[in-house]
Structure 1
Amino acid sequence: MAPDIPKRRADAERFSKLLIQAPSSQFEQIDAGGVPAERLTFSDVEPVRMLFHLHGGGYVVGSPRTHRALVSRLARRISADAVIPDYRLAPEHPFPAAVEDATAAYLSLLDQGVHPSRIVVSGDSAGGGLAASLLVNLRDKGHALPGAAVLLSPWTDLTLSSPSLYDPEIADPMLHVEGASHAAAAYLADTPPDHPLASPVFADLTGLPPLLIHVGDSEILIDDAKRLARRADEAGVD
């Protein structure tokens, strides 16, 4: 393991405690199909949806705890409960561990009787790419797909070929290409970087549920997001 990864994980956990969660957020530890996870409920909200969020962190950092504030605000806005899987991280658990855990945790919702049309899959950064990979994996295996997916600044190309990664005019305050390169190497191990479940921009996106993709113009992942949106549009995805 790179020596800075434990520190980055600890820093992320510590920083996340400074972020403000949505009102009346209540988190509990659950087992989601054999995957540790947190479930979010609100004491004053009658849920009409289930948000299934995959956290970012380059596949090497992050946890449900680091994303409580973000997920609580998203979930409250759409009157949803939420589940945040604590999927296995690289380099200890390289690809396809994260995809396997995301799939198992999602299927556990169906096993509990949650109708797929009520589920909104979401993810940020690497979690956004993982969310897209999850959808492809579910479709390929014949499982019921969620009603929709929301991808926030998704990292979708681990070949690192998007021009925006190298654009000197983009002053991304969070990410840089060197960090992305190290994270990709840790996650991929011996897997080709254009594997469609590692880099979903190379996947066949036909038949996926409606996608909402957000990205800012000061982010180095803007081309990853735009390329995925273009591929989805070409595949007939709403």
Structure 2
Amino acid sequence: MNGKDIEELNAVRAMLGSKPRPVGWSERRARLDEVGSVWPIAEDIVLEATTLAGVPCEWSTSPGADAARVLVYFHGGGYCSGSIASHRRLVTEAGRAAGARTLAVGYRRAPEHPYPAALDDALSVWTGLLRLGFDPAQVAVAGDSAGGGLTLALVQHLRTASQLMPGCLWLISPWTDLTLSGVSLAAKSTVDPLISRHYLAELVDAYLSVGHDRADPLVSPLFANLSGLPPTLIQVGSDETLLDDATRLAAAMGAADIAVTLEIWPHMIHAWPLWNARLDAGRRAIAAAGAFLQARLK
């Protein structure tokens, strides 16, 4: 990481730490929307609000995008926060890099709508997309943090039901282990400005009903049978408490003979491509993902 990267990353860290951590769910949601959308989308992006099977979504298109290719994106936020708005800059620039239209999904969030509401919405959107006539081989599914876990839950369900699956997956800082057994939760706790074990424990309690098995593969895909899943790109920062969630997932996918690519970005923090407008490492990560997606959506 060069000096410019360090300077830019320090500025993002300062922005994230500029206000006290919010407490209530509405306050947390407002704060993530604020820090996620602090820099607006590019002027050449065309947005279109829509619904698929009753789920609010948003199309985005950049100049030259192939309308037959779609990047479906599930935002992060621990299943409780995050929104189409908070991730709009990331999603629209990812679509540009991939040369595809994007479909950002506003799935229901806990604690008002605990598991399996988010997965039900993901399945509804997938079914709705195919009913519109899109070729699943020309569709990529992606997500960061909890959105990465939701992506993996979706494709598990599709595989088990012998349904058509997307052409590839892209996971940013995926949350894959709701049992919170990763060593990096402690090892990286002093350098991660966003995610702590205590915070994750609150999210698990909000997302899952009392007594639900936290190792259930549909909520903790690290423990799933991963065979037969699409080619996958995993990107994670080295300064993340969720580092082990990504590295262990990559190892498990490799053991299951999945074509998996793991990128560990030195010193990067949780879901750093969110701040691509002012973080060159975020733009480089999106460019790498775009190349991966273009190579597989043919």
Offset, 1:20: 3.4
Write the letter of the residue equivalent to 2:180: L
Matched, 1:75 2:100: no
Secondary structure in structure 1 of the residue aligned to 2:143: strand
Match runs of 1:120-159 below 5 Å: 120-159=140-179
Partner of 2:118: 98
Secondary structure in structure 1 of the residue aligned to 2:257: coil
Q: Deviations over 1:131-162 (max 9, x none)?
A: 11111011111210000000000000000011
Partner of 2:233: 212
Q: Is the 8 A contact 1:21 1:68 kept in 2?
A: yes
Matched, 1:108 2:128: yes
Write the letter of the residue equivalent to 1:216: G
Write the letter of the residue equivalent to 2:148: G
Give 5+ residue unaligned stretches, structure 1. Answer: none
Please say which of residues 29-38 and 82-91 is displaced more in the overlay: 29-38
Structure of higher CA gyration radius: 2
Partner of 1:198: 219
C-alpha separation between the residues in 1 aligned to 2:65 and 2:33? 27
Write the letter of the residue equivalent to 1:51: L
C-alpha separation between the residues in 2 aligned to 1:28 and 1:4? 31
Provide closer, same or farther for how the CA distance between residues 32 and 169 of structure 1 changes in structure 2, counting only shifts above 3 A. Answer: closer
Offset, 1:3: 5.7
Write the letter of the residue equivalent to 2:193: P
Task: Select which of 171, 187, 190 maps to 2:207.
Answer: 187
Partner of 1:38: 58
Partner of 2:83: 63
Write the letter of the residue equivalent to 2:143: G
Task: Select which of 184, 188, 194 maps to 1:164.
Answer: 184
Provide closer, same or farther for how the CA distance between residues 147 and 5 of structure 1 changes in structure 2, counting only shifts above 3 A. Answer: same
Secondary structure in structure 2 of the residue aligned to 1:142: coil
Matched, 1:222 2:248: no
C-alpha separation between the residues in 2 aligned to 1:120 and 1:144? 12
Secondary structure in structure 1 of the residue aligned to 2:114: coil
Matched, 1:233 2:254: yes
C-alpha separation between the residues in 1 aligned to 2:216 and 2:136? 27
Q: Is the 8 A contact 1:121 1:149 kept in 2?
A: yes
Q: Is the 8 A contact 2:61 2:101 kept in 1?
A: yes
**Aligned-pair RMSD on alpha carbons?**
1.6
Provide closer, same or farther for how the CA distance between residues 46 and 168 of structure 1 changes in structure 2, counting only shifts above 3 A. Answer: closer
Give 5+ residue unaligned stretches, structure 2. Answer: 1-21, 260-298
Secondary structure in structure 2 of the residue aligned to 1:63: coil
Secondary structure in structure 2 of the residue aligned to 1:226: helix
Partner of 2:287: none
Write the letter of the residue equivalent to 1:31: T
Partner of 1:50: 70
C-alpha separation between the residues in 2 aligned to 1:22 and 1:128? 25
Q: Scaled by the length of structure 1, what TM-score is found?
A: 0.95
Write the letter of the residue equivalent to 1:148: C
C-alpha separation between the residues in 2 aligned to 1:144 and 1:23? 35
Offset, 1:31: 1.0
Secondary structure in structure 2 of the residue aligned to 1:151: strand
Provide closer, same or farther for how the CA distance between residues 135 and 22 of structure 1 changes in structure 2, counting only shifts above 3 A. Answer: farther
Number of residue pairs matched?
Answer: 237
Query: What percent of counterpart residues are identical?
Result: 41
C-alpha separation between the residues in 2 aligned to 1:68 and 1:75? 11
Offset, 1:169: 6.4
Offset, 1:16: 3.1
Write the letter of the residue equivalent to 1:138: L
